[in-house]
Amino acid sequence: MITGSIGMLPSASIGGRTGLYEPIHGSAPDIAGTGVANPLAMILSVAMMLKYSFEMTEEASWIERAVEQVLAEGYRTGDIWREGEGKKVGTEEMGERVRSAVQKLSQKR
């Protein structure tokens, strides 16, 4: 699979209903606090946790659809942004846009 960035890859180590969910890239301490990390892998890891450990498939779907929506609207963190394509945003804004999209999707239920 071609993802464009490791900042887009959620992961899980699952043993029964117990799992460890995290971005495939780990914590990225070298860029901690700089506002440039792509939060989508962590957000998508939470969706995996909801789906596989807590059987909250509807809520997981809201998160997945929200991420898709924000990306479709053209928002990108620096690791996946290209000059002239969409709007470059930082960690906090990307997270806030996904949160807002999840909230809107959940209200439509």
Structural domain containing residue 25: 6-107
| Domain-embedded: residue 21 | yes
| Domain-embedded: residue 1 | no
Return the SS3 of 16.
Answer: coil
Q: What is the secondary structure of 28-90 as a DSSP string?
A: -GGGTTSS----HHHHHHHHHHHHHTS--HHHHHHHHHHHHHHHHTTEE-TTT-BTTBSEE--
Q: What pairs with residue 14 in β-bridges?
A: 19
| Domain-embedded: residue 96 | yes
| Domain-embedded: residue 72 | yes
Q: How many domains does the chain have?
A: 1
Cβ distance 23 to 39 under 8 Å? no
Task: Return the pLDDT at 4.
Answer: 62
| Domain-embedded: residue 38 | yes
How far apart are alpha carbons 64 and 43 in whole angstroms? Answer: 9
Give the pLDDT confidence of 3-54 residue by residue, as tens digits.
Answer: 667 677 899 999 887 899 988 876 778 888 898 889 999 999 999 999 999 9
Q: What is the pTM of this model?
A: 0.88
Segment 76-91 shows an average pLDDT of 93
